[in-house]
Structure 1
Amino acid sequence: MEETIGVTEAAPIPKQRGEQLLDSAVRYAEERHWDVVPGTWLESAGGRAVCSCGVEKCPAPGAHPARPDWSTQATGSAVGARRMWSKQPKASILLPTGRTFDAIEVPETAGFLALARMERMELTLGPVTRTPDRRMFFFVLPGAATKVPDLVRKLGWPPAALDLVTRGEGHYVVAPPTRVGGSGAVQWARQPTAVNRWLPDAEELISPLAYACGREAAAARGR
């Protein structure tokens, strides 16, 4: 599997072809019926990748909403997506959650451990992304944000004890091939395909995800 290699802050801005972002945004809307919205983008300043928002120490350069009303600007229309990215081809691709899907976010190490368990259990999986800051997002049916805390408690874990977060209404995930600063691009750990068009319910995945996050929490305490 391809690994993301971090670079120093002084590294040149990574090249990102605008047509790749445009084509991807259109495909997400047209083929997956996901709402998409353009976010900020990367600009070059002194040989560094900086965010179009203008904040010097932006925590997610080139990969966050560009305006406060971003959620109302989202579109599920391929024509609308093409029009928006034609205006700003370098804009990041944001996928609002709480509409056609929610997302369960975990650390990358826990995510890969959970994926291995899910495959052994022959569970149905939806798309999964991995980000340059080593987080993974499992796409599940909407409603996960309200279910997951109780599901985790039923498994014997206090929700606050696990590094497991759900993103539902009012939130978003950053979609490939968006780049985040100079640290690399968001990638698919499990790509969207015809096979995983139907998403799993959070209840189907929460046990291996909670187990993996619990293992990581125990390892952190032992260090």
Structure 2
Amino acid sequence: MGFTIGGIRERRAGSRRRGRGAEGTTVAEYTGLWGWAVVPGARAVAGACSCGESRCPAPGAHPLGFAREVPAGAGADRAADAWAETPGASMLLPVGRAFDVLDVAERTGRRALVRLERMGLPLGPVAVTPTGRAQFFVAPGAAVALPDLLYRMGWDDADLDLRALGAGAHITAPPCDLGGRGPVRWLRPPALDTAAAPPPARLLLGTLAYVCHRS
């Protein structure tokens, strides 16, 4: 059987060859090197989602319900074989397991990143989206703890363009397209020492909140 996405059907043999190409290699890097699970996701073309739902609430930015997840730790062959079952799918990373995400405007994120690097604070990966957002990877639990952390830091009453993504959320992984708007890119690529163990949100939050407020 083949898998249809965006109106294109590929046979298993052709799919397997594609899975062992660039997409399969990237999936294997995420699972085997960085320790992240990867979920096959829908794509969007001209605003229409490949899931086939005419009123899809998140075109090209949600998991495919029938596709199986490639688990963290999967080696190159296993990851490529699994990805070959869903050729053309986008790569989504489940949030709330190896990391949570602090999401801010891209301009804010870039300014904050410069400050954080100058301070010598430990940093995890940072992605930027074509919708103008910066996504800072932090330790799991940030989404649940965010209100209390902001309260303790005195930012609970401030109108901040800052949110946390936690368990149940998914983000589009670089270099995949996000909802037909363009590719997600790394602002700060993953590194071996922080990819699977990003810093606690509290180490970044004060700077992010301050720059958000100033912006």
TM range (shorter): 0.7 to 0.9
Tell me the residue number matched to 1:121.
119
C-alpha distance in structure 2 between counterparts of 1:169 and 1:177, whole Å = 22
Tell me the residue number matched to 1:101.
99
C-alpha distance in structure 2 between counterparts of 1:210 and 1:167, whole Å = 16
Q: CA deviation at 1:194?
A: 2.7
Cα 1:144–1:194 change in 2 (3 A) is same
Which moves more between the two structures, 149-158 or 96-105? 149-158
Tell me the residue number matched to 2:211.
212
Does 2:202 match 1:203? yes
Q: CA deviation at 1:175?
A: 0.5
Kept in 2, the 8 Å contact 1:127–1:138? The answer is yes
Kept in 2, the 8 Å contact 1:104–1:165? The answer is yes
Cα 1:34–1:164 change in 2 (3 A) is same
**Counterpart code for 2:93:** L
Tell me the residue number matched to 1:39.
41
Tell me the residue number matched to 2:71.
75
Tell me the residue number matched to 1:27.
29
Corresponding residue to 1:165 among 163, 166, 184: 163
TM-score of the aligned structures, taking structure 1 as reference length: 0.77
Secondary structure at the aligned position of 2:103 is classed as: strand
Kept in 2, the 8 Å contact 1:128–1:138? The answer is yes
Q: CA deviation at 1:159?
A: 6.2
Secondary structure at the aligned position of 2:148 is classed as: helix
Tell me the residue number matched to 1:219.
none
TM-score of the aligned structures, taking structure 2 as reference length: 0.80
**Counterpart code for 2:85:** K
Q: CA deviation at 1:41?
A: 2.4
Q: CA deviation at 1:57?
A: 6.3
C-alpha distance in structure 2 between counterparts of 1:73 and 1:182, whole Å = 22
Q: CA deviation at 1:170?
A: 1.3
User: Which consecutive residues of structure 2, in runs of 5 or more, have no partner in the other structure?
Assistant: 1-17
Q: CA deviation at 1:58?
A: 4.8
Kept in 1, the 8 Å contact 2:96–2:168? The answer is yes
Kept in 2, the 8 Å contact 1:130–1:186? The answer is yes
CA RMSD of aligned residues (A): 2.4
User: Which consecutive residues of structure 1, in runs of 5 or more, have no partner in the other structure?
Assistant: 1-16, 217-223
